[in-house]
Amino acid sequence: MNDPQDRGATLVFPAIDQMALEYLRAARSRGERVVCAASVASDEIAAEFGLHRLPLIYDDDFAACFLPLVQQESISRLFCPVASVHHFMRRFIASQHLTLELIGQSPIRQQVDQHRQLMARAQRLLPFVQRCANGAPTLSLFEVAGVLRQAGYIYGESNDDKLAAMMGVLASAPAGDVVEIGSLMGRSAFVLLYLAWRYRIGPLLTVDPWQTDSAIQHESPDEFQSLVDDWDFEVLSEGFMVNMVPMRADDHAHLRMPAAEGFKKYASGAAIASMYGHRVPFSGKIAAIHIDGNHDYASVQQDCALWLDRMLPGAWLILDDYIWAHGDGPYRAGNELLRDAAERIEYAFFCGKALFVKLRH
């Protein structure tokens, strides 16, 4: 394997923004030697990586300053996170007959390509969203793309197919409360909150204690159980709240407690406040529930036993990880539900690792 150091250094220019910082940190982690330059100083980047000052690209002495830096630092690659500089440097490299490799596309071209890819995903998923809605008016192509885009910024394991099914099924949910058990950093919660607003269903309640005891899946392999050590649960809590900010936060309340305790508070009718301190008017009747808490069989069974009796006729249950590589708790609990509550179930389907169940009206 070639040593990254043998390939010369990468010049990041202009090293002034978040894209530059992300590249620099990723390069450092893979052992790539990097050099930073800018015409306007970035104190954060200068403090962490050092910074060479160069004239503006339009200045007469730019070439006289840039070319010695390339020679002095053995620069073989150039990363330009600013569109205007990328455009200029592509022509400059050719005019100076330099052997520099200009890394990647222009930021403008990246945005164009990313948007086209996003719209292609939304176009592929839209017919499925409409089928899941079963005749109910549902999201437009732009809305599907918008949900996918915003959800993609949030860490989580809900894939496109599951999110598309959620976009569809909630179109037929009755008016009532939307509930999520287990939220991690909020990808599915963000989608549920948008859909609850878009379809005029009702407020969202999320329940997640963000604590080690509740997070360990005791029936999973030891290697998977140890994954809990990688999380900082305060970061999870803070990250979740940050990720929910762009939506209508006054229609959402979170209970940082185990699901059983959360159910007691929900069922009591006690006031539950949004992150801004406003009382969220929950009805105590569930229109849709996403169960994605602890996946041990006893925990999933308890979540179903407590919360599902609050479901309205026509309500939707989304039981996540019905098919799961690390255990069969959701599968066993889901199968028991399909068997024991068959007379209450209108229909059910499996999608994106989740079991979707609609109750009869």
Pair (84, 177) in one structural domain = no
Strand, helix or coil for residue 234 = helix
Strands (E), 20-152: 34-38, 52-53, 75-79, 101-102
* End residue of a domain, out of 61, 83, 104: 104
* End residue of a domain, out of 70, 104, 138: 104
* End residue of a domain, out of 51, 78, 104: 104
Whole domain around residue 51: which residue ranges? 4-104
Pair (295, 199) in one structural domain = yes
- Evaluate the CA torsion angle 155, 160, 163, 167 in order and state its sign: positive
First to last CA, the chain: 63
Pair (96, 196) in one structural domain = no
**DSSP bridge partners of 253:** 205
Give the residue from 334, 351, 311 showing the smallest Cα distance to 131: 351
Pair (204, 350) in one structural domain = yes
Task: Confirm if 322 and 353 have CB atoms less than 8 A apart.
Answer: yes
Whether 43 is in a domain gets the answer yes
Contacts of 39 (CB under 8 A, 6+ apart): 14, 53, 54, 55, 56, 57
pLDDT of residue 6: 57
Query: Cα(298)–Cα(66) distance, rounded to whole angstroms?
Result: 65
Q: What is the mean pLDDT of the chain?
A: 94
Pair (44, 177) in one structural domain = no
Pair (39, 185) in one structural domain = no
Whether 322 is in a domain gets the answer yes
Pair (185, 326) in one structural domain = yes
Report the CATH number that the domain containing residue 275 is assigned in CATH.
Answer: 3.40.50.150
pLDDT band at 140 (very low <50, low <70, confident <90, very high): very high
Task: Confirm if 295 and 324 have CB atoms less than 8 A apart.
Answer: yes
Query: Cα(100)–Cα(72) distance, rounded to whole angstroms?
Result: 14
pLDDT digit string (tens) for 269-309? 988 999 888 999 999 999 999 999 999 999 999 999 999 99
Query: Cα(283)–Cα(278) distance, rounded to whole angstroms?
Result: 16
Query: Cα(32)–Cα(25) distance, rounded to whole angstroms?
Result: 10
Pair (191, 77) in one structural domain = no
Pair (39, 181) in one structural domain = no
Pair (188, 97) in one structural domain = no
Overall number of domains in the chain: 2
pLDDT digit string (tens) for 32-69? 999 999 998 788 899 999 999 999 999 999 999 999 99
Whether 8 is in a domain gets the answer yes
pTM comes to: 0.90
Report the CATH number that the domain containing residue 42 is assigned in CATH.
Answer: 3.40.50.20
pLDDT digit string (tens) for 94-133? 999 999 999 999 999 999 999 999 999 999 999 999 999 9
pLDDT band at 198 (very low <50, low <70, confident <90, very high): very high
Pair (217, 341) in one structural domain = yes
Pair (66, 188) in one structural domain = no
pLDDT of residue 70: 96
